[in-house]
């Protein structure tokens, strides 16, 4: 996992290795499962609608499957430019 911006700040780290159970299939389910890991995770993922994701450096939606992903990044909507 990689975390950026206020997701990173609330969790307290920029990344971690996780091993979700088999019934966690989509990005949305992953976010729901991560939210239970600690108070910081819970704060970061309290509003799932405000979370965006990328799998292996490509933006994906909440219904994307996480199977086979090497690296998943979770972050707020982007604000560059």
Contact between 73 and other proteins (CB under 8 A)? yes
Is the Cα dihedral 66, 18, 53, 26 positive or negative?
positive
Rounded to whole angstroms, how far apart are CA atoms 25 and 5? 25
Least separation, in Å, of the C-beta of 2 and other proteins?
7
Q: Are 27 and 60 in contact (CB under 8 A)?
A: yes
The one segment of 16-24, 33-41, 51-59, 60-68 that binds other proteins by CB under 8 A: 51-59
**Is 5 a residue that touches other proteins (CB under 8 A)?**
yes
| 28-47 footprint of other proteins as x/- string (CB under 8 A) | --------------------
């Amino acid at each position: 996992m990689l975390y950026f911006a206020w997701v990173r700040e609330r969790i307290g780290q920029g990344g971690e290795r996780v091993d979700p159970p088999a019934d966690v299939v989509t990005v949305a389910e992953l976010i729901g499962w991560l939210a239970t890991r600690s108070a910081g995770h819970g704060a970061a993922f309290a509003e799932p609608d405000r979370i965006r994701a990328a799998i292996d450096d490509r933006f994906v939606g909440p219904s994307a499957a996480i199977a086979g992903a090497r690296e998943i990044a979770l972050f707020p909507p982007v604000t560059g430019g």
